[in-house]
Structure 1
């Protein structure tokens, strides 16, 4: 079985140069890796390049929910709700270790966006459209029951609440697990490799790219019958390689989330609530933290350089004070934060929250296929659709889509109904290895069926680093493409968002280990250290 190892990078580059692929995907977010997995399991030879790290853009900076699109009922996007609801269940069954059902409370107040009738009807319709299983269907609460569920909710004018199920996920880990599965099935994926130009055949059609290894500036060509642009917020940048883009284009919407320790924001129940300006915001407890978001404002500029502003922070803090008036938090108690963009297809005259999240696919005169828009929840269906579209390009019949019942890496634990039994078993094993129960439970949830490979590194841990953190690093280097400290701290562990004190405490040790194992030059180590410090600053301050 092929492994997504950081140590195989040069071998991967040589393979990319020497092979002519059926399909080349540009972009390693959830959309791109989903396309790679769908294509390789249908019998296509597949390559994928990502100019940063996998999930470095939108796919690591969402609200971290695989949700069924309840908010789209307000916009009467019935088809969207129906499809996302069904896809949500598929994502969960194929990767239950990275997707967790959580009951979500939607409180309603006198004069608010929702009332008892509209909430009841909306959630009932949602259950029907999304084909929600019986054990997860909505139920309604009166005011006292709502406060019993979550005492921090605003008591004044409270009328009641609706409760329904959403699916919490780690968006970056979901992306990495899908990417690893594509590699295991035979696809060739590489991060930190940028498409800088296109190659053309005699008919003027694109048949590959000029690529650059961002880590060492090595340039090389990759040949492919078809090229798909799935670069998320950067799809227009990829299109512009050919010159000026016309027709459809993206508009970016910025979303910010703030993280608090449960000691200052002791939320026990996930909440979806309306704000005074009519928007909806999530407040979600997660592993001893509470995170709240998101904002929704147009953004111009490179998402790689995006900063959180004081206005972003104030908006979310005001929303918290509005719905949770007894939670007296201030900016000083923000532990971490993240900002991301939603790549939306431009619709003239609409505010960010009004623009549809649907995906679209189009093709240039030179044959470049571009896919844009869409939601994390619908990544599998989007991939199926785009591969169906290009299937006729090949002189053979492709296999039908295989991903509906394909377990992603780490997901083969005997079905979602077996998750808690599996976790308990792995916790017992982890404790025998010297971990605390909490540490072992975290690793079992984080890595699923792959956790034994993580456990195998525990005995090697140095004395100046927690054994679990060391094991995660070694597993990340050997099996998860880790090349950069930000890959590890942001997208493989989420520690920079949800355990930032550990990042600050152990960053020097991690940097030293990575430098030794990946044989960084002094200049590389200095650069990567600076880039890690920048991300810590971005997560803890506002402009």
Structure 2
């Protein structure tokens, strides 16, 4: 029986070895988890392995927007804009608790990337292509109204602004909720398990993998009729298990974001703005913080060991001071930050911002299906494309038929709140329930929005008391361990709660108590606790210190 409990990890490993799956997915980012959900919903048996934690790579380090790809209009990628815009609405309806519509201001200045005409036409075309509903269509502002909308915007040579809707998300929670939805339907998913080799049949076709359990440090085999490589920045690494690869390959683009408290950067309106070098950057208010990004530079090295350098900070600071001259922030005001990579399909002679974000699927002679590129917003459609290809092969080679894709109408875990139009009422009702068990109104509201329809289970844990941890935080930790495969403190601090990025003081205050509770729940050895504490402190340093 599939489980999302970290305390039943050995049971999951035994299940993975017990049968041959129709499909085995390598990679637990949004793409891999989306493929697992689509496959299990079609009636296929599915396993997924992830060498780190779910969403540990690109899927927890984006700009945290499910957006429609406005920037692609500049590159005339019309198909991408149309598809991403429509997918955005589907992502929102299937998981409204992890996706929030926000009005985005696009100010335009004399000599900037966008002018009044191009902004007006661009946003009108965007609304049309993306199928934006009437209540969320763009509108234009004169300079005075633009400054009224966001007083921090540069007034000098301001010509006006366009306002349109983007969708803010928690990228890692979106990924985890998709993973949990796949598990709830019967898929078997596991983190900290690395694909090290392929297994082959007598026809030299891949029929499974050899994996290394990075927690228990032992190897085992998983058998499957088809294997898909959805390892994000590591797809080339997976491909080279078979030897040197020719043809398409990835190039990595590094993106950095920095976070301020709203007292230092009191942004009240999300803004998409020009930088001095002609790129576009986001500044977004979120729960008492403002975050700004992203950079876009080629990156070489291990994406698991990515640090933020002073030049990354300097670039974003320069952009802030250029567009928000009244904001006098310095490096000392940066509370937290994150760096991630975008895996792009190499295009000769182009800089990172020019390379297309489109996804591509290809298959090796031995049958390994690889998907690379793409956007967070388009994860469901990417999964559909991959599964359509795999379903044909499964029927042709093995006589296994499957249903057509229907993830368009499948709610992700936590999404059963009665649709987006009922979210506010749901949160209000659950907030009252949380207050009744002793939570503050603010804490109860946060949990209801964070966990959606799973919050009732979180509230059950909130009835338990801990000598050090606050009631809500303790409930989140227990829920994470028993229902969201939290194995490592960084899983909890970064990818289940985002506290590392948006409440780092809480991380520092309660890290020892959280480590102690996890050691008890997961029966760590003293050596494991020491190592996990070291790993957690390293991530705190990465979030707060530039090299």
Pairwise TM-score range, normalised by the shorter structure? over 0.9
- Cα separation, 1, equivalents of 2:77 and 2:65: 19
- Contact kept? 2:3, 2:188, Cα under 8 Å: no
Equivalence for 2:431: 427
Equivalence for 1:139: 139
Alignment of 1:88-99 (within 5 A): 88-99=88-99
**1:114 corresponds to 2:114:** yes
Question: Following TM superposition, by how much is the alpha carbon of 1:3 offset from its aligned partner in structure 2, in angstroms?
Answer: 3.6
**1:404 corresponds to 2:408:** yes
Equivalence for 2:478: 474
Equivalence for 2:192: 192
Equivalence for 1:505: 509
> Secondary structure at 1:180's aligned position in 2?
helix
Equivalence for 2:256: 256
- Cα separation, 2, equivalents of 1:72 and 1:90: 20
Alignment of 1:206-225 (within 5 A): 206-225=206-225
- Cα separation, 2, equivalents of 1:409 and 1:459: 22
- Cα separation, 2, equivalents of 1:361 and 1:142: 45
Equivalence for 1:228: 228
Question: Following TM superposition, by how much is the alpha carbon of 1:246 offset from its aligned partner in structure 2, in angstroms?
Answer: 0.9
Question: Following TM superposition, by how much is the alpha carbon of 1:140 offset from its aligned partner in structure 2, in angstroms?
Answer: 0.2
> Secondary structure at 1:460's aligned position in 2?
coil
Question: Following TM superposition, by how much is the alpha carbon of 1:230 offset from its aligned partner in structure 2, in angstroms?
Answer: 0.2
Deviations 1:428-473 (A, max 9, x none): 1111111111111111110000001001111212131111100000
**1:488 corresponds to 2:492:** yes
> Secondary structure at 2:411's aligned position in 1?
coil
Question: Following TM superposition, by how much is the alpha carbon of 1:261 offset from its aligned partner in structure 2, in angstroms?
Answer: 0.2
Equivalence for 2:389: 389
> Secondary structure at 1:456's aligned position in 2?
helix
What runs of 5+ residues in structure 2 fail to find an aligned partner?
Answer: none
Question: Following TM superposition, by how much is the alpha carbon of 1:423 offset from its aligned partner in structure 2, in angstroms?
Answer: 0.7
Deviations 1:249-281 (A, max 9, x none): 000000000000000000000000011111000
TM-score scaled by structure 1?
Answer: 0.99
- Cα separation, 2, equivalents of 1:392 and 1:2: 26
Equivalence for 1:450: 454
Out of 430-439 and 144-153, give the one that drifted further.
Answer: 430-439
- Cα separation, 2, equivalents of 1:491 and 1:392: 35
Matched pairs, number: 543
Equivalence for 1:532: 536
- Cα separation, 1, equivalents of 2:93 and 2:515: 36
Question: Following TM superposition, by how much is the alpha carbon of 1:248 offset from its aligned partner in structure 2, in angstroms?
Answer: 0.3
> Secondary structure at 2:361's aligned position in 1?
strand
> Secondary structure at 1:308's aligned position in 2?
coil
TM-score scaled by structure 2?
Answer: 0.99
Deviations 1:201-241 (A, max 9, x none): 00000000000100111100000000000000000000011
Pairing partner for 1:541 from 517, 531, 545: 545
Deviations 1:491-523 (A, max 9, x none): 000000000000000000000000011001111
Deviations 1:50-83 (A, max 9, x none): 0000000000000000000000000000000000
> Secondary structure at 2:96's aligned position in 1?
coil
**1:413 corresponds to 2:417:** yes
Deviations 1:466-494 (A, max 9, x none): 11100000000110000000000000000
Equivalence for 2:182: 182
What runs of 5+ residues in structure 1 fail to find an aligned partner?
Answer: none
- Contact kept? 2:3, 2:12, Cα under 8 Å: no
**1:28 corresponds to 2:28:** yes
Moved over 2 A (4+): none
Question: Following TM superposition, by how much is the alpha carbon of 1:398 offset from its aligned partner in structure 2, in angstroms?
Answer: 1.1
Pairing partner for 2:465 from 461, 465, 469: 461
Question: Following TM superposition, by how much is the alpha carbon of 1:390 offset from its aligned partner in structure 2, in angstroms?
Answer: 1.2
- Cα separation, 2, equivalents of 1:518 and 1:7: 6
Alignment of 1:271-350 (within 5 A): 271-350=271-350
Question: Following TM superposition, by how much is the alpha carbon of 1:2 offset from its aligned partner in structure 2, in angstroms?
Answer: 4.5
- Cα separation, 2, equivalents of 1:340 and 1:2: 31
**1:377 corresponds to 2:381:** no
- Cα separation, 2, equivalents of 1:459 and 1:386: 44
Equivalence for 1:9: 9
> Secondary structure at 1:86's aligned position in 2?
helix
- Cα separation, 2, equivalents of 1:467 and 1:2: 29
> Secondary structure at 1:285's aligned position in 2?
strand
Aligned alpha-carbon RMSD (Å) = 0.7
